[in-house]
Structure 1
Amino acid sequence: MSLPTKAFDTSVLRKKVLDMAYAGSTVHIGCAFSIIELLAVLYRNHLRYPGNNPVDPGRDYLVLSKGHGVMAQYACMHELGWLKDEALSRYFSDGSDLKGLSDSRIPGLEVTSGSLGHGFSVGVGLATGAELRGTGQKTYALVGDGELNEGPIWEGALFAAHHELKDFMVIVDENGFQAMGSTQEVLKLGSIQSKFESFGFEAVTIDGHDETAIDCAITDLWKSDSRSPKAVIAKTVKGKGVPFMEHNNIWHYTRLNAETYAQAASAVAGGEQ
Structure 2
Amino acid sequence: MGNECCFICGLQESGGYPISSCIIMSRRPTTARRPGDGGGIPFVGSFHSKSRPSKILTVGLMIVGALLVVSYVYRGPGGRNDLETFSRLEGVSCAFEVLSTLPFLKKAYGDSMRKVLHVGPDTCSVVSNLLKEDDTEAFGIEPYDLDEVDGNCKSLVRKGIVRVADIKFSLPYRAKSFSLVIVSDALDYLSPKYLNRTLPELARVAADGVVMLSGYPGQQKAKMAEASKFGRPAKFRSSSWWVRFFVQSSLEENEAAIKKFEQAAAKKSYKPGCQVFHLKAYQ
TM over 0.5: no
Structure with more of its chain in helix, by fraction? 2
Higher relative contact order (CA 8 A, sep 6+): 1
TM-score by length of 2: 0.40
TM-score by length of 1: 0.41
